[in-house]
Amino acid sequence: MLLACCIPFTSGRADVQEPPHMLIPQPVSYQTQGEPFRLNSALDWDIDPSFNNPSLVLAHLKRWQETYALQQSDAAPFTVRLSFSEDLPAEGYKLHIEKSGIHLTAGDEAGLFYGIQSLRQLSWSSAPGDNTGITLPQVTITDYPAFPYRGMHLDVGRHFFPVETIKTYLDLLATYKMNRFHWHLTEDQGWRIEIKKYPKLQEVAAYRSETLVGHLNDRPYKYDGKKYGGYYTQEEVKEIVAYAAERSITVIPEIELPGHAQAAIAAYPELGCTEQPIEVATKWGIYENIYCPTETTFQFLEDVLTEVMSLFPSEYIHIGGDEAPKSQWKSSAFCQELIKKEGLKDEHELQSYFIQRIEKFLNSNGRQLIGWDEILEGGLAPNATVMSWRGESGGIEAAKQGHDVIMTPTTYCYFDYYQSVHPDEPLAIGGFLPLEKVYGYHPIPQELSESEATHILGAQGNVWTEYIATPEKMFYMALPRMQALAEVVWTPAEQKDYSGFTHRLDQHFPVWERMGIKGANHLYDAEVTIGTNDHDKLILNASNAMGKGSFRVVRTAEDIQEELDYEGPFAPESGHYTIQSIVDGEPRGRSSSITFYNHLLNGAALELTHQPHPKYNGQQPEVILNGVSGSDQRYGDSEWIGMEGDDLEAIITTLEPVEASSLHLRFFHSPGQWVYAPTMIRFSYWIPETNQWSVAFERTVDSSDEKVIEVKELFTREIKGQRFKLEVQNFGEIPHGAQGAGHRAWLFVDEIRLQ
């Protein structure tokens, strides 16, 4: 099912200006100074003697030279000159290419490295290793990053990836000028780093007996019955850290605490509050077994972190701090006594006490603590840096308190979410995060003052791997959203241009294929939207991300199929539409389909007492009246509206009075993502003669194991009206033991269809 929303319409045949280069991220300044030329001779080097490590820089350049098999020839020497300049900011560079040579100037060695990455990308139009040389532009590039923290994350706790895969991941980060690798090493489902003092972490915690098959929301649970696991030896960790450092990447390890600790407690039960034997978790989700704040636990964690710090020179050590249920602390006599002894108010403050003890230990060793935004609960550790993932509110709060922040909200930065609404997309955790939405992100919230905004260090993309079991799928989920985020955190916001980005990106897919990597190429997939035009009439529009080609439209209704000439947006009739991009006379990309229902509320005026969350179609809530149902698999597409903790109360007004006999509603139900079906629905219509609402029906909603809850109500009598009121009651507080316990549930509502 293709998303449909109310947007300005284009014909889908727009002539798009081709960008003058293929660089990602877009540089600050790019000026051409002549026609491209062919380089086919070996290089001479002229390197500033003040380099700390000239052999490392030379190694990168020589690899570039070897890629294109440049050989000595009778041609005049082609010199690559490398130098420093104090006029350039940290990580900045200036790259000047002309027929006589290349001059790369940088403010530091990281800047030199990034200049080499731009040189590599400019070479990609040439086939490697065919002995015909390299075509290069004559150009001057001046470039530097918008944000100092430009990160990508990878979870290896749920699924383990070999060292070579991690290195390839690091190569991609480096190519696109990302400088932080957040390595999520411990989880309920597996401990992935060797700790020599605690061998059971390798023997027990690194392996689970079996793994969940399918989605966490599927019932009944099914398992594969196969032992699964693995861990990185300390020598392998050192190898990866060194490999990253050679590419100007800092590796930030994450050792989860106090939650997500079931694997460690399975190895050492005395670390938990019950001290009862448990197993490494075999399904996804949040577990009650968390570290008990005893001296035994703190000694264990300090020992673990001591070994971790010996392996990772990173200033930051990530401690997680998220999703830590407090039920075992509430029932633990030890924890309750500790709360009294330390003068704490509740278990949230006990978590703050726990984290502050770890922070003091890290600070005493010259390191800084970083954690997910739950570390704000109960009081933030004095020197902590916050990763804001549950939206931006945690980051805003932390920045206002004077703490540094890395933005990584789910709605823009979680690359385990679906990236397309096509039915053949591989299984994902849920949600919907298309490429354009990632690209449109800006990490500095408008709520912050200029001084507060300085605490926003940058942003990070997260790849959680519950549903990503192979390197192939991991790269498919990460690319090209990684590249979109790379441009978000490097390029000045005012210079970003999504059309230019997609045209540059189109040239990167063949390069990844040469690396054996398949990214998610949806650039030519047909996209279909249904929204209102200037006259409040519903219109169907076809397009693709590249803005290229024409479209073939086929409509099927009542077993009759017809092909339509698409010359621009048109008013749809009820039926199933299939749209295919046609580029240079040939089909390109995947076709898309929608089913449009003509019903009594199409295009009606909508008033909401509570607005949907701005990131879940808060800009266009009228999509719930446009005749198109949202996806059955993902609640985040543009057809669903999401209410964060609120009820839905909608007043709907049609242009003329209508007569209706039934109502059809849809709600998403995904407790694993804090999304619950409502508890009650009431539908009323306005009677002008009595100046009051009359209830057409009221009913409770029974939740089920289905992802989509459908409510179809036949009225006891036909009703006539022009104003209607729909009241939908939010599930309320998420119960104890469930993911998100204590928070109010999300309510996701789809098409309101009156017939």
Q: Per-residue pLDDT tens for 523-545?
A: 999 999 888 776 678 899 999 99
Is 300 domain-assigned? yes
- Which of 114, 143, 172 represents a domain boundary (last residue)? 143
187's CB contacts (< 8 A; 6+ apart) are: 155, 157, 158, 256, 260, 263, 281
Is 23 domain-assigned? no
- Which of 457, 475, 496 represents a domain boundary (last residue)? 496
Does residue 299 sit in the same domain as residue 419? yes
Model confidence at 12: pLDDT above 50: no
Average pLDDT for 717-744: 90
Q: Where are the alpha helices (DSSP H) in 365-505?
A: 393-400, 410-413, 435-439, 450-453, 471-478, 481-490, 498-505
Model confidence at 1: pLDDT above 70: no
Average pLDDT for 512-533: 91
> How confident is the model at residue 75, as a pLDDT?
63
Model confidence at 587: pLDDT above 60: yes
Q: Which of 182, 192, 157 is nearest to 281 (CA)?
A: 157
C-alpha torsion sign, points 256, 262, 266, 269:
positive
Is 515 domain-assigned? no
Say how many C-beta atoms besides its own lie within 10 A of residue 645's C-beta. 16
Q: Per-residue pLDDT tens for 228-280?
A: 999 999 999 999 999 999 999 999 999 999 999 999 999 999 999 998 999 99
Pairing status of strand 222-223 against strand 316-320:
unpaired
CA 147 – CA 150 distance, rounded (Å) = 7
Is 112 domain-assigned? yes
Quick one: which H or E segment has residue 405?
Answer: strand 405-407
Does residue 356 sit in the same domain as residue 214? yes
Average pLDDT for 49-72: 76
What three-state secondary structure class fits 662?
strand
> How confident is the model at residue 717, as a pLDDT?
87
Indicate the residue type of 191: W
> How confident is the model at residue 69, as a pLDDT?
65
Does residue 614 sit in the same domain as residue 583? no
What three-state secondary structure class fits 102?
strand
> How confident is the model at residue 77, as a pLDDT?
73
> How confident is the model at residue 7, as a pLDDT?
30
3-state SS record for 149-202: EEEEEEECCCCCCCHHHHHHHHHHHHHCCCCEEEEECEECCEECECCCCCCHHH
Q: Which of 140, 176, 235 is nearest to 491 (CA)?
A: 176
Give the chain's mean pLDDT: 91
Is 720 domain-assigned? yes
Model confidence at 14: pLDDT above 50: no
Does residue 410 sit in the same domain as residue 537? no
Percentage above 90 pLDDT, the chain: 75
Is 16 domain-assigned? no
> How confident is the model at residue 431, as a pLDDT?
86
Q: Which of 400, 480, 495 is nearest to 448 (CA)?
A: 400
Is 361 domain-assigned? yes
Does residue 578 sit in the same domain as residue 627? no
Does residue 249 sit in the same domain as residue 285? yes
Model confidence at 478: pLDDT above 50: yes
Model confidence at 510: pLDDT above 70: yes
CA 293 – CA 259 distance, rounded (Å) = 11
CATH of the domain at 540: 2.60.40
Q: Per-residue pLDDT tens for 605-662?
A: 999 999 998 878 877 899 999 999 988 877 777 889 999 999 999 999 998 999 999 9
Indicate the residue type of 539: I
Q: Per-residue pLDDT tens for 378-393?
A: 777 788 899 999 889 9
CA 46 – CA 185 distance, rounded (Å) = 42
CATH of the domain at 38: 3.30.379.10
Model confidence at 588: pLDDT above 80: yes
> How confident is the model at residue 3, as a pLDDT?
35
Burial environment of residue 745 by CB neighbours within 10 A (0 to 12, 13 to 18, 19 or more): buried
Inter-residue contact 320 to 371 (CB < 8 Å) = yes
Does residue 262 sit in the same domain as residue 394? yes
List, as one string, the DSSP characters of 469-516.
-SHHHHHHHHTTHHHHHHHHHHS-GGG--HHHHHHHHTTTHHHHHHTT
Does residue 456 sit in the same domain as residue 574? no
Pairing status of strand 190-191 against strand 186-187:
antiparallel
List, as one string, the DSSP characters of 33-59.
-S--EEE-B-EEEEE-TT-S-HHHHHH
Split at pLDDT 50, 70, 90, the class of 71 is low
> How confident is the model at residue 743, as a pLDDT?
85
HSE at residue 12, side-chain half, CA atoms within 13 A, is 26
Does residue 179 sit in the same domain as residue 203? yes
CA 372 – CA 392 distance, rounded (Å) = 12
Pairing status of strand 648-668 against strand 708-729:
antiparallel
CA 5 – CA 541 distance, rounded (Å) = 10
Split at pLDDT 50, 70, 90, the class of 129 is low
- Which of 448, 481, 496 represents a domain boundary (last residue)? 496
Q: Per-residue pLDDT tens for 76-125?
A: 678 899 999 999 999 999 999 999 899 999 989 999 999 999 999 999 98
Q: Which of 366, 373, 383 is nearest to 351 (CA)?
A: 373
Inter-residue contact 177 to 117 (CB < 8 Å) = yes
Split at pLDDT 50, 70, 90, the class of 375 is confident
Does residue 669 sit in the same domain as residue 719? yes
> How confident is the model at residue 127, as a pLDDT?
66
What percent of the residues of the chain are helix, what percent strand, and what percent coil, each to the nearest 5? 25, 30, 45
Q: Per-residue pLDDT tens for 73-85?
A: 556 678 899 999 9
C-alpha torsion sign, points 410, 415, 416, 420:
positive
Does residue 206 sit in the same domain as residue 134? no
CA 608 – CA 668 distance, rounded (Å) = 19
CATH of the domain at 726: 2.60.120.260
Q: Which of 445, 442, 352, 359 is nearest to 395 (CA)?
A: 445
Does residue 352 sit in the same domain as residue 214? yes
Model confidence at 4: pLDDT above 70: no
> How confident is the model at residue 73, as a pLDDT?
59
List, as one string, the DSSP characters of 566-630.
-SS-B---SEEEEEEEEETTEE-S--EEEEE---TTTT-EEEESSPPPTTTTSS-GGGGGSSB--
Q: How far is CA 602 from the centre of its chain?
A: 33
DSSP 8-state code for residue 670: B
Percentage above 70 pLDDT, the chain: 95
Is 479 domain-assigned? yes
What three-state secondary structure class fits 133?
coil
* Domain enclosing residue 691, as ranges: 605-754
Q: What is the tally of structural domains in the chain?
A: 4
